[in-house]
Structure 1
Amino acid sequence: MMLPMYAKWELVAERLPVIFPVGIAQRNYCIRELSAKTIFTFLYIGAIEGADVFLGPIYVYRMTDLQSQMCSDDERLAYRSNMLKKSFHIEGVRWYADNTREPIRDETLREGLIVVGAVSERADVPTTSSRPRYALNKELAKLFDPGLTGVDLTNAILAWQAKSLTPSALARVSLLRMGTGGKTGVPVQFPNGDARTLSPGPSSVISKAVVEVFASKFLKQPGVLWLSESSNKVAVQDVKLATAIGLDIVAKKDLPDLILVDLGPADPLIIFVEVVATDGAITPRRQRALFELTDNGGFDRSQVVFVTAYSDRESPGFKKTITGLAWGAYVWFMSEPDNIVLFQEGGKLLPKAAGISNMNCVE
């Protein structure tokens, strides 16, 4: 991927207050000089989403005025490739001292630019690692092209704001930033008041959202019968509640990651939820196996719901598994919690009583 057009950090500083208008959360962290120099450095080394190049705070605080004026591609690539080497000599006086690492990381990036979706952070790099992990939003990067001026610049900024700074867009960024829980794991609050900590990882983050967000939005009186995770096959197993409603949930190979129950309706609903970070959606074969379980428990099939949960429509797991999803099942995205997709079978709609309530459903 080619480097972005060279832009002086002063140009970046000039445009930031226009791009991030008054009223944006943590606006000061997004428009101050430290932010302008941070975004300049993203552009300088080409750390743009999709380029597989990432920035760490060290690239910013070791930058100098002399280096920043070296604008050829070769000079910029040399800085990107060699800056982390102790032997690499950088001409001029450094912009900032080493202890500026924390304000760049914690304020400018995590509390400012990441919150508004201007910067993304790699989830596969441990929080304790010094490896570069940040990339600038590729559409935002285009707004700092020096050749983009006047009405064209104004229109481009307005278009980016309309797409990226709406309440729903910012809520989506916030949900996707829930992270992997680090070394301490992912805490989950269950409907009955219990709390558990799941192993760190993207699947646990989606499971947390299903229990805390999905269940409260779409079920009247939710309960968790079963929750499994890769490191602990049975993280939660409410055998007493399952037995009370006539469902045998002794561990079987076809059980999904989560089994929820809605005790609100006169006839309880059983909701089988498969969490997909990379693979493992509710397929027709698994749907048949789970129907056998509920048939044996005396449940009418109208009381059984199948859901596959993903982090986002852009997630690799969704793109990989969508073609194998079972008809008559639902899909829910953590990043768009108010909506749910129904894979409708044939021309007849499933009765609402047999599905999920309070939903904005795309069929």
Structure 2
Amino acid sequence: MSIRINLLATAAILAATPALADEVNVYTTRQAFLIEPVMEAFTKETGIAVNLAYVDKGLVERLKSEGSRSPADLVMTVDIANLNQIVEADVLQPVDSAVMKEAVPANLRSPDGLWYALTSRARVVYAHKERVADGEVTTYEDLASDKWKGRICTRPGVHDYNLALLAAVIAHHGEAAAKDWAAGVKANLARKPEGNDRGQVKAVWAGECDISLTNTYYMGAMLADPEQKAWAESVRIIFPTFENGGTHLNVSGIAMTKSAPNKDAALKLMEFLVSPEAQAIYAEKNTEYPVLAGAKRSELVESWGEFTPDSVDLTELAKLRPTALRIMEEVGYDN
């Protein structure tokens, strides 16, 4: 195998791997099976081996402690909050690549080249097919309306996905209005926030609530799981928008470390990952949206229909995360 994968999250194994001209080392919070196909395609095309280390927790701390001795060339993770934490840790170097800039829209990459999005996902409403009428869900703002009393399920408000959504509410309407919105959604919850995104869809299927806030790609994951397929089939995806805005997006992204011992190979991998071939493979495997305009989406993703992405800059949302966290705590969202 040309791809060495460590599923036990011990990046130290990579530290013991000598740097070669024909390899690239990647620390990732994305499970290996999600990204292995695209890495295999890269190795087949270039002959450059990819060493993947799955680092579930403590990624920033590990990079900081390793410093200039880190064997990691690239970091791959999800959510703008995680990308911003790595930026603030000062362990990255800017990548000034015409290929990356042309492929990745400006609002889906760092203005100074410290990170680039690879795929995007929308945070949307999963609505029960029978208990929620067509056109009943329209905007994110409407989720605070009394008509949803006892009908909404979400995972904890302090989770990164919900904090990013609340940060977008702040960006659109200001802090005071965002606090009212968070309190309104809390008042409409059918149960205490708990579990993950799939658990919310299960709750809709079970009749505990009528709608949930869930990322788009979980639909594909549930349909592929025999135990969860019925949950997915009980709901349909609806793309709410912000008033005078679009549907909230978040991303998976990639960045190059300061230490990068295989910088040239790492850049080749970054540029490959935004190619039409790689974007199609990545999007098909993860049922996420390609960032490259015109790249092929999976058949399932296409079936969800079109939507208008929100134009708020993700870097701005990352900066608003502390405010979003404070608001969630002030309104006692998870209590």
Tell me whether the two structures share a fold, i.e. TM-score over 0.5.
no
Structure (1 or 2) with the larger CA radius of gyration: 1
TM-score w.r.t. the length of structure 1 is 0.28
Query: Structure with the greater relative contact order (CA < 8 A, sep ≥ 6): 1 or 2?
Result: 2
